Structure 1
Amino acid sequence: MRLIRNFSATLVLMLLMGCSMENSTKTLRLGHGLDVSHSVHKAMVKMGEDLLQRSGGKLKLEIYPSQQLGTERECLELLQIGSLDMTKVSVGVLENFAHKMTVLGLPFLFRDRQHSFDVLDGPIGQELLDDGKKYWLKGLGYYDAGSRSFYTMHKPIHTPDDLKGQKIRVMESATAVRMVQELGGSPTPISWGELYTSLQQGVVDGAENNPPSFYLSRHYEVCKYYSLDEHTVLPDVLLMGTYVWDKLSEQEQKWLNEAVTESVKYQRVLWAEAEAEALREVEKAGVEIIRPDKTLFADKVADILEDYKNDSEIYPLIKQIQETK
């Protein structure tokens, strides 16, 4: 009996460590907070299929969606200590762990979507991914998360003045908190998984996010106003803990990087389709889509960028991004 118990304990330990007993397959566990219908999750599924094929079955991806393994912050912490292999988080949460990433959360930094792609796919984007290494986080790539805008329950947002007195859910991001404050709202950090209930119970009056997230979360059932001010273009970042990355061989790292690259390309196509569908569907469900004058919002938060003049890491990045053609 003792022998059986010892064997069972060893088997459980091996499963928790992401090991497989079949054909020396390495299993990488990826946890994230999105629904399985989200374009990022679908891209991850493709990445897993691609990785298995490229590696000849030597590398396998196991995906745990919908916060099964914890919130974005909790998953990052698990990565840092080697208890989880991979995760996807919003840049807004990542800035609490890797300071340079703060720049991507600044409001009205990018001219348009293509400008953001040019930055993320170039040397600036790679520099930001590499910066996470000193925090035990290996950046692998960026998924498109579109532009974030405000949605509210009781009062439409046409100008920044309409945010006054409204409690707006934000991520655990100092930049997001500051932005909502500058616009006149009352920022309230709440976990994404708790937001629907918080809206129903009146803990907050609204939130801000991209169209697919607004639609797939079903927040449109309680929030009937969506104001497309597009204040931030905040990508999702795919990460691996350096503890796990450093244990992969060069060939395994190559397989993984190639699978990630194809996954990112695939997700951008899915995202464009999902964004258009989301706006159509929420409008059908009775949501009023508002297209306000964005300059009113940009002018209100312009000081945020200037406040980084004394930050030797962030301000040079702001200038480089602004100068990227």
Structure 2
Amino acid sequence: MKSYLNLIVCLIIALGTSSCEELIKTRTVRLGHGLDTSHSVHKAMVKMGEHLEELSDGKMTLKIYPSQQLGTERQCLELLQIGSLDMTKVSVGTLENFAPKMRVLGLPFLFRDRQHSFNVLDGPIGQSLLNEGEQYWLKGLGYYDAGSRSFYTKDRPVHSPEDLVGLKIRVMESVTAVNMVKALGGSPTPISWGELYTALQQGVVDGAENNPPSFYLSRHYEVCKFYTLDEHTVLPDVLLAGTHLWDKLSEEERGWLKQAVDNSIGYQRELWMESEKEALAEVEKAGVEIIRPNKELFSEEVEDIYDKYKEDTELSQLIQDIRATK
């Protein structure tokens, strides 16, 4: 409607002028996500918008809707699929419900370290997985760093998997995450991110699992005073465009958008490293006990999850290829 009105106004007041042509050709890309504006991902998106406008000489602009203004991650994906939203950022854990092969990235202790994960995600394997979503009207554009996920709890510390027994742990709507918590002895409880603080306060769940910046920025540390850095999963965030948008873009517009995305990824990863250090320092200052357990105690308990994938030849090979990546 807005672009239609702009067209009418142009025709009335400036028919044939260059300014009218520029107005008609301007494309606004709408991006919705669930994170706070202080998060490194949002800051990277702002930088992406600035770069996109610069690259396109003002012909493409980015309008960002943060903090679940347009809904949860799942709802934003559904909006992309029907063309009511252009872009979003979601965790791989959420995306696996829409692009099943993505669930391999949610397997616990899959990556040796952060650099190994970057080598996989930025290489042929990562690109292949980004392409997986296209048949579901989701065009993968790249991966933001979301660090490693670890457990945080309210009433008792977790030093080993035995300490998770009997605890209700919030997880994303992810079959892989559910299976992981079960394997470690906990009781997985899917709850939306926006409802988690209240659920922790009211005792609906005894704890959750996430990366340090999310633990800090969500203020969950006000309720949960134990943070166990077992770093069970390295679960990236994925930046996506709907194919409804992508199919409308010219090759030139796609180039501008992809370049802006790529630049924002490097910028976000730098911000992430800083925010991770800050988050751990701040929650510790607020009275949270930081626990650094023996990770092997946790990794040994989840080996059965990998056994289930042996029957799936394609996914089993994918796991082998990821582990073989230098």
TM over 0.5: yes
Corresponding residue number in structure 1 for 2:52: 51
Q: Report the alpha carbon displacement of residue 12 of structure 1 after superposing the two structures with TM.
A: 9.2
Q: Deviations over 1:65-113 (max 9, x none)?
A: 0000000000001101111000000000000000110110000000000
Corresponding residue number in structure 2 for 1:32: 33
Q: Following the alignment from structure 2 to structure 1, what is the Cα–Cα distance between the partners of residues 113 and 2?
A: 51
Corresponding residue number in structure 1 for 2:136: 135
Q: Report the alpha carbon displacement of residue 309 of structure 1 after superposing the two structures with TM.
A: 0.9
Corresponding residue number in structure 2 for 1:247: 248
Corresponding residue number in structure 2 for 1:98: 99
Indicate if the aligned counterparts of 1:89 and 1:237 stay in contact, CA closer than 8 A: yes
1:170 aligns with 2:171: yes
Task: State the AA in 2 paired with 1:161.
Answer: E
Q: Report the alpha carbon displacement of residue 25 of structure 1 after superposing the two structures with TM.
A: 1.1
Corresponding residue number in structure 1 for 2:325: 324
Task: State the AA in 2 paired with 1:284.
Answer: K
Deviates more, 1:309-318 or 1:258-267: 309-318
**Secondary structure of 2:249's aligned partner:** coil
Indicate if the aligned counterparts of 2:33 and 2:73 stay in contact, CA closer than 8 A: yes
Corresponding residue number in structure 1 for 2:187: 186
Q: Following the alignment from structure 2 to structure 1, what is the Cα–Cα distance between the partners of residues 207 and 296?
A: 22
Q: Report the alpha carbon displacement of residue 24 of structure 1 after superposing the two structures with TM.
A: 2.4
**Secondary structure of 1:157's aligned partner:** coil
Q: Report the alpha carbon displacement of residue 311 of structure 1 after superposing the two structures with TM.
A: 1.5
Q: Deviations over 1:292-315 (max 9, x none)?
A: 000000000011112101113321
Q: Deviations over 1:148-192 (max 9, x none)?
A: 000000010000000011000000000000000010000000000
Corresponding residue number in structure 1 for 2:218: 217
Q: How has the CA–CA distance of structure 1 residues 14 and 89 changed in structure 2, closer, same or farther, with 3 Å as cutoff?
A: farther
The structure 1 segments of at least 4 consecutive aligned residues displaced by more than 6 Å after TM superposition are: 12-15
Indicate if the aligned counterparts of 1:199 and 1:222 stay in contact, CA closer than 8 A: yes
Q: Following the alignment from structure 1 to structure 2, what is the Cα–Cα distance between the partners of residues 11 and 240?
A: 21
Identity %: 74
Q: Following the alignment from structure 2 to structure 1, what is the Cα–Cα distance between the partners of residues 276 and 59?
A: 35
Q: Following the alignment from structure 1 to structure 2, what is the Cα–Cα distance between the partners of residues 254 and 50?
A: 12
Corresponding residue number in structure 2 for 1:201: 202
Q: Following the alignment from structure 1 to structure 2, what is the Cα–Cα distance between the partners of residues 11 and 106?
A: 44
Q: How has the CA–CA distance of structure 1 residues 13 and 280 changed in structure 2, closer, same or farther, with 3 Å as cutoff?
A: farther
Indicate if the aligned counterparts of 2:3 and 2:24 stay in contact, CA closer than 8 A: no
Q: Deviations over 1:99-155 (max 9, x none)?
A: 110110000000000100000010000000011111110000000000000000001
Corresponding residue number in structure 2 for 1:107: 108
Q: How has the CA–CA distance of structure 1 residues 119 and 14 changed in structure 2, closer, same or farther, with 3 Å as cutoff?
A: farther
Corresponding residue number in structure 1 for 2:266: 265
In the alignment of these two chains, the number of paired residues is 312
**Secondary structure of 1:22's aligned partner:** helix
Task: State the AA in 1 paired with 2:262.
Answer: T
Corresponding residue number in structure 2 for 1:303: 304
Q: How has the CA–CA distance of structure 1 residues 152 and 250 changed in structure 2, closer, same or farther, with 3 Å as cutoff?
A: same
Q: Following the alignment from structure 2 to structure 1, what is the Cα–Cα distance between the partners of residues 117 and 66?
A: 26
**Secondary structure of 2:229's aligned partner:** strand
Q: Report the alpha carbon displacement of residue 22 of structure 1 after superposing the two structures with TM.
A: 3.2
Q: Report the alpha carbon displacement of residue 14 of structure 1 after superposing the two structures with TM.
A: 7.5
TM-score if structure 2 supplies the norm length? 0.94
Specify every segment of 5 or more residues in structure 2 that has no aligned partner in the other structure, as ranges: 7-19
Q: Deviations over 1:14-37 (max 9, x none)?
A: 89xxxx993521000000000000
Q: How has the CA–CA distance of structure 1 residues 168 and 12 changed in structure 2, closer, same or farther, with 3 Å as cutoff?
A: farther
Indicate if the aligned counterparts of 1:89 and 1:238 stay in contact, CA closer than 8 A: yes
Indicate if the aligned counterparts of 1:309 and 1:315 stay in contact, CA closer than 8 A: yes
Specify every segment of 5 or more residues in structure 1 that has no aligned partner in the other structure, as ranges: 1-9
TM-score if structure 1 supplies the norm length? 0.94
Q: Any residues of structure 2 matched to 1:60-139 within 5 Å, and which? A: 60-139=61-140
Corresponding residue number in structure 2 for 1:3: none
**Secondary structure of 1:207's aligned partner:** strand
**Secondary structure of 2:110's aligned partner:** coil
Indicate if the aligned counterparts of 1:149 and 1:230 stay in contact, CA closer than 8 A: yes
Q: Following the alignment from structure 1 to structure 2, what is the Cα–Cα distance between the partners of residues 313 and 78?
A: 30
Q: How has the CA–CA distance of structure 1 residues 107 and 133 changed in structure 2, closer, same or farther, with 3 Å as cutoff?
A: same
